[in-house]
Amino acid sequence: MNRAIRWIRTLAEVVSASMLAAMFLTFLLQIFSRYVLQEPFGWTLELCLALWIWIVFFGCAFIVRDREHVSFDILYLAAPARLRKVMALISAAVVAIALLWSLLPTWDWIDFLRIKKSATLKVPMRTLYSIYALFLIVVAARAIWSFIHTLRHGAPDHELELLSEDKS
Amino acid sequence: MSLPFALCLLTLFLLSAIGTPIAYAILVGALIYLGVAGQDIALAGEQILAGLFESFVLLAVPLFIVAANIMNAGTISERLLSFCVAAVGRFRGGLGHVNVVSSLIFSGMSGSAVADAAGIGKIIVQMMTRSGHYTPGYAAAITAASATIGPIIPPSIPMVLYALVSNTSIGYLFLGGILPGLLMGVVLMAMNTWISARRGFALEEPVPLRELPRKTANAFPALLMPAILLYGIYGGVTTPTEAAAVAAAYALILASLFYRAMSLRALYTILVESARSSAAVGLVIGGALILNYIVASENIPNLVAQQLVGLDVSPLVFLLGVNLLILLLGCVLDASTIILVIIPLFIPSCRELGIDLVHFGVVAVVNCMIGLITPPYGILLFVLNAVTRIPLAEIIREIWGFLAVLIFALLILIFFPGVTLWLPRLFGYGG
Amino acid sequence: EDKIVLRLSSPMSETDQRAIALTEQFGPGVSSFATFEPHWNATLFKQNTELEAIARGNLEMSVTSAQELAQFFPEWSIFTAGYVLQDADHQVAVFNDAVMDPFKQKVEEELGVKLLAPMYLGRRHVNLRQSRDEVDVRTPADLAGINLRMPGTDAWQFLGKALGANPTPMAFTEVYTALQTGAVDGQDNPLPTVVDAKFYEVTKQIALTSHLVDWNFIALSKAVWEDLSPEQQQAVQSAADAAAKAEREAQLKKEADLRGFLEQKGLAIYEPDLDSFRSHVQKAYLESDFANDWPAGVLERINELGH
Ligand code: NA
Ligand code: NA
C-alpha cells in the first residue's frame, strides 16, 4: 500500500514537473516565433492555458500537501488537542461530502462540453476540463483518508509535521 | 442579503476559521450557495475552469515562481544578498529598503501585483529571513505591501481595464501612475525605517567598502536581469507576461552555465516545487473567481448603484466616500471586479462633480491594490503564504503598519490631485 | 404575478452601442412581463462560455458571435470568413433569408439557443503602429512580415494569414502595451474599438481593408422562449429587432464620425487596393479546410443577396 502510494507520488511529480517545463518552453517558443522567426505560432497561448489548468488541478490532487494550501490556521493551532481533532474531522468531512455531492452534476456539465472544441487546438473542452473531475475525486478521497486517520490517531499538528519534514 | 448568500459567507468563514484551506472553504461555500439558491451545482467548477482558462496574464505567476526557485537554488539570490548586505546592510532596515526598491524596479516590467509577489517576492523574503534580522512575517508583509506598487507604475493591467470602462487615455493614466507609485514606495520605506528602529532589527556587520567592488562583480550578471527584462519589454521583444519566461530562462542560464551551480537533478526538484506552489496559488485564485460569480449573481453591483443615485455632495466628500466603499469592498472582492463593475457606477457622478477622470482612475486603482493586502481576504497575502509557507497569521500581524501608510498615501493622492496629474499635464494632458 | 427574469451576460462594457441599445430598447420592450437584467463586463459568465450557460439552463440571454458558434458547429466559420459579408444591410438580408434557417435550427436543437436578431459590429480594418512612410499598405504583399494581433482562435489566425500578415494571438488587455513597445506591429478591429481601447494613442495608420464586416446575434434560451405566450414571443422578437436596428444605426453613425476624430488625432486613414485583398483572401479560404465545412450553395446564395 505504502509502496503503491510512493510510486504514484513519484509519477505525479514527474508529470507535474513535465507540464511546468512544457509551459516554460512553450512560452519561450512563443517569443522566439514572433520575434526571431517573425512567424508567430498561433497555438502557443492556448497550450499554455491548457497546461496551466492541468498544473493547478493535477497538482492540487496529487502533489500539493494538505498543509501547503493557503489557510488561516491561527485558531486551529491555538486549540487544545481534542478541539483540534473535532475541527479536523469537521473540515475533512465537509470537504469530502461537498466535493462528492458536486461530482455528478459537474461531470454532467463537463461531458456536455464534448461538443465544444477549443478555439485553436481544436481539442474537445471535455478533454481539457476532465482533470477537474479527477481533482474532485482525488481530493475527496484524500479528505476521507484524512478523516479516518484523524479519528484513529488524532489531529495532525501542522507545526510538528513541518519540523519533522525539515529534518528528514 | 439573500439566504443563500448569507449561508455561503457563513460556511466560508466557519470553515476558514477551523483551518480548512481557504480555496476549499470557498468552493464548499459556493456549492452551498448554488444548492440553496436552486442553481446548477456545476457552476462552481465552471467558474473556476473558465476563469483560469482565459487568465492569460496569470501565466506569469508559475513562470516567475520557476525563476525565483532557480535563483534561490543557483546561488543567484545568495550573491544578490551578499551584494545588498555590503551596499545597504549598515543602514537600519536595509534589506527592507532593498525589498521596496526592487518592487519599484519590477513594477516597470509587470502589469500584475500577484505576479510580482509570486516572483521577486519569494526571493526577497528568503533573503530577508536568511539574513536573520527580520521575522518571516515582517519580510512577507513588506513584500506584499510593496507588490501593490506593481500595477501603479506602468505597464499596468488594472489601468487598462479602467481606461476601457471610463473612456480615458491609457497613456495619461500610465503617466499619472508614476509619481503615486513612487510615493507609495517612499511611505513604505519610511514605515520600514520607523519599525526597524523601534523594534531594533539588528544591523548587518558592516562590510568593508573595499570589498564592495568584488561583491558587485560577483552579483553583476544577476543585477543585469532587470535591465534585460526591461529591454525585452520596452524594446518590443516580449509582453510583460512573457517577460516572466525570459526571467526564468536567464536565471537558468546564469545558474547552470555561468555560476555552474545547477544540476539536472536540482532543476527537476525546482520544477516539482514550483509546480506545487503554482497549483496552490492557482487554486486560491480560482476561489476568488467563484466569489465574483456569486456577487454578480446576487446583482450586488446594481443594488449598490441604486443606493447612490442622486447623491448630492461636494467632490471631496464624494471622493472620500467612494474610496471608503472601495476599501471595504476590497476586503472581499477581487480588484478587477471592482474596477470593471463598481468603479463605472461612479464615473457619471465624477463627470458631474468635475472630478478629473485620470485622477479618479489612479486613485481608484491605488485603492484596489491596497485591497489586495487587506485582511481577511487579500489575495497577495494568500499568494505569499503559498509561495513562502510563512503562516498567514504572521503575515497579517505585520501588515497593519504598511496598510496604514499606504492609506495615508491614498489620502495624499485624494487631497492633492496634482501629484497624479503633474506628469500627464507635462506631456500635454488637458484635464 | 412574478415577472420572468431575463439575465444577459456579455463581455462588452455598458457604454458599448450594443449594450446601450439592449438597455434602452430591449429592456423596456419586454418590461410588461419580464425583467431584463444585464451583466456587462463578463461579470456573470466569462467570454465565450455564455452559450453553454444558456444550454445548461444557467443563463437566459447573451450576445453571441459566429466565431463562438463555430466552436460548436464548424459550418458557422463561413460567417467568420473575410470578404463574405459586404455591409450591415447584407447581414440583415442573410440573417432573414432561408439560407440561414438550417444554421439557426441546428443551434436551437443542439444548444437550445434561439438567435433573435443580428447586431452590427463594424468593419474590421488593419491598424498599424508604423507611419505610412514606413509601411504603405496597398496589397496583401505589403503586410508581409507585419505582426498583426488577432484574437487567439484558429479562424482569426487564418484570416490574418489570408490578409498576408503574421497573425499573433495576444490577450486584449496586453495589446495597448504591445503596440506601444512594438511587441506587435498592429491589430485589427472596427474603428469604434480603436477609439474605445485607445489604440489611436499608440498607432499611426489605419488601412481600411474592411476585411471582415463583423456581426453578433442576440441569443435567447429556447426553453424560455417556449414558455412564453405567443403575444410575449412577439414582444420579445420585436424588442430584439428594435434593439438591433437602433444599434446598427448608432454603430454605423459612430463608424462614420470616428474617421474624422482619428484623422484629427494624426492617424493616416486610407483605402488600399480592395480588389487585390478580396481576391487574395477569398482564394485562401476556398483552398482551406474551412471551406470543406461549408454546406454547398451557401456561399453562392450569400453572394446573391449582396450587390
Ligand atoms: Na507595472
Ligand atoms: Na483584500
The pLDDT of residue A163 is 39
pLDDT tens track for B399-422: 999 999 999 999 999 999 999 999
Mean residue pLDDT of chain C comes to: 94
Average pLDDT over residues C170-178: 85
Q: Does the interface ipTM go beyond 0.95? A: no
Count of CB pairs separated by less than 8 Å, B with C: 93
Chain-centre distance for alpha carbon B235: 25
Split into its structural domains, chain A has a count of: 2
Paired with C205 in beta bridges are C128, C268
Read off φ and ψ for residue B333, nearest 5 degrees. Answer: -110, 155
Contact C210, C125 (CB under 8 A): yes
Same domain as A29, residue A94: no
pLDDT tens track for C28-72: 999 999 999 999 888 889 988 999 999 999 999 999 999 999 999
Q: How far apart are CA C30 and CA C220, in angstroms?
A: 13
Q: Does C229 reach chain B within 8 Å, measured CB to CB?
A: no
Same domain as A4, residue A48: yes
**Which of A40-49, A152-161, B220-229, C103-112 is predicted least confidently?**
A152-161
Buried (b) or exposed (e) across B100-128, using 16+ Cβ within 10 A? bebbbebbbbbbbbbbbbbbbbbbbbbbb
Place of cell 463578463: C42
Same domain as A157, residue A79: yes
Instruction: Answer yes or no: do A49 and B54 touch at CB < 8 A.
Output: yes
The pLDDT of residue A158 is 55
The pLDDT of residue B309 is 60
Same domain as A153, residue A131: yes
Cell of B285: 485564485
Contacting partners of chain C (3+ CB pairs under 8 A): A, B
Contact B352, B311 (CB under 8 A): no
Model confidence band, residue A166 (pLDDT cutoffs 50, 70, 90) = very low
Instruction: Answer yes or no: do B296 and C177 touch at CB < 8 A.
Output: no
* Contact residues, A window 3-42, toward C, CB-based 8 Å cutoff: 34, 38-40, 42
Q: How far is CA C132 from CA A16, C137, C181, in A?
A: 49, 8, 18
pLDDT tens track for C263-283: 999 999 999 999 999 999 999
- Taking contacts as CB-CB distances below 8 angstroms, the residues of chain B near C49 are 46, 50
Q: How far apart are CA C98 and CA C95, in angstroms?
A: 8
Q: How far apart are CA B232 and CA A28, in angstroms?
A: 13
pLDDT tens track for C62-85: 999 999 999 999 999 999 999 999
**For chain B, domain boundaries:** 42-426
Q: How far apart are CA B14 and CA C107, in angstroms?
A: 44
Amino acid symbol at C239: A
B290 closest CA partner among B47, B84, B65: B47
Mean residue pLDDT of chain B comes to: 87
Q: Return the number of other C-beta atoms located less than 10 Å from residue B396's C-beta.
A: 23
pLDDT surpasses 70 at B274: yes
Q: Which of A64, A83, A99 is the last residue of a domain?
A: A64
Same domain as A87, residue A53: no
pLDDT surpasses 70 at A160: no
Q: How far is CA B6 from CA B294, C219, C299, in A?
A: 11, 32, 54
If you ran DSSP here, which 8-state letter would residue B255 be given?
I
**Which of A157-161, C225-229, C274-278 is predicted least confidently?**
A157-161
Q: Does A37 reach chain B within 8 Å, measured CB to CB?
A: no
Q: Which of A24, A39, A64 is the last residue of a domain?
A: A64
Average pLDDT over residues C136-143: 96
Same domain as A157, residue A94: yes
**Which of C173-187, C199-213, C225-239 is predicted least confidently?**
C173-187
Same domain as A60, residue A73: no
Q: How far apart are CA C54 and CA C59, in angstroms?
A: 5
Specify burial of residue B305 (Cβ count, 10 A radius: 0-12, 13-18, 19+): middle
- Taking contacts as CB-CB distances below 8 angstroms, the residues of chain B near A55 are 62, 275, 278-279, 282
Specify burial of residue A166 (Cβ count, 10 A radius: 0-12, 13-18, 19+): exposed
Same domain as A142, residue A94: yes
pLDDT surpasses 50 at A168: no
pLDDT surpasses 80 at B120: no
The pLDDT of residue C58 is 95
Residues 6+ apart with CB under 8 A from B197: B92, B93
Average pLDDT over residues C14-30: 94
Host domain of residue A124: 69-168
The pLDDT of residue A162 is 41
Instruction: Answer yes or no: do A52 and B276 touch at CB < 8 A.
Output: no
Integer-rounded Cα radius of gyration of chain A: 20
Q: How far apart are CA A84 and CA B154, in angstroms?
A: 47
Average pLDDT over residues B294-318: 77
> What residue spans of B54-119 are helical by DSSP H?
60-73, 76-88, 94-107, 113-118
**Which of A157-161, B34-38, B309-313 is predicted least confidently?**
A157-161
String of DSSP letters for chain C: -PPEEEEEE-SS-TTSHHHHHIIIIIHHHTTTTEEEEEE-TTSSS-TT-HHHHHHTTS-SEEEEEHHHHHHH-GGGGGGGSTTS--SHHHHHHHHHSGGGHHHHHHHHHHH-EEEEEEEEEEEEEEEESS-TTT---SSGGGGTT-EEEE-SSHHHHHHHHHTTSEEEE--HHHHHHHHHHTSSSEEEE-HHHHHHTTGGGS--EEEEEEEEEEEEEEEEEHHHHHHS-HHHHHHHHHHHHHHHHHHHHHHHHHHHHHHHHHHHTT-EEE---HHHHHHHHHHHHHTSSGGGGSPTTHHHHHHHH--
- Taking contacts as CB-CB distances below 8 angstroms, the residues of chain C near A113 are 52
This model's pTM is above 0.90: no
- Three-class SS state of A117: strand
Amino acid symbol at B274: S
Q: Give the pairing type, strands C147-150 and C166-169.
A: parallel
Contact B338, B368 (CB under 8 A): yes
pLDDT surpasses 90 at B1: no
Q: Which of A22, A47, A64 is the last residue of a domain?
A: A64
pLDDT surpasses 60 at C186: yes
Chain B residues bordering chain C (beta-carbon distance below 8 Å) = 39-40, 42-43, 46-47, 50-51, 53-54, 56-57, 111, 154-155, 157, 160-161, 163-165, 167, 169-171, 233-241, 292-293, 296-297, 299, 301-302, 337, 340-341, 344
Helical (H) or strand (E) element with B219: helix B212-234
Same domain as A2, residue A25: yes
Mean residue pLDDT of chain A comes to: 89
B128 closest CA partner among B173, B159, B97, B105: B97
Percent of chain B surpassing pLDDT 70: 98
Contact C162, C284 (CB under 8 A): yes
The pLDDT of residue C244 is 97
- Taking contacts as CB-CB distances below 8 angstroms, the residues of chain C near B163 are 176, 197-198
Same domain as A80, residue A156: yes
Buried (b) or exposed (e) across C74-90, using 16+ Cβ within 10 A? bbbbbbbbbbbbbebeb
Same domain as A140, residue A78: yes
The pLDDT of residue B305 is 65
- Three-class SS state of A124: strand
Half-sphere exposure of B103 (CA within 13 A, CB side): 36
pLDDT surpasses 60 at C196: yes
Count of CB pairs separated by less than 8 Å, A with C: 53
Average pLDDT over residues B221-250: 85
A71 closest CA partner among B275, B283, B68: B283
C164 closest CA partner among C199, C128, C131: C128
Same domain as A78, residue A125: yes
**Which residues surround the ion ligand 1 when the cut-off is CB under 5 Å?**
B 107, 150, 153, 156
pLDDT surpasses 90 at C119: yes
Amino acid symbol at A125: M
Q: CA angle at residue C241 from C236 to C245, to 5 degrees?
A: 150
Most confident of B258-262, B306-310, C97-101: C97-101
Average pLDDT over residues A97-106: 97
Instruction: Answer yes or no: do A72 and B284 touch at CB < 8 A.
Output: no
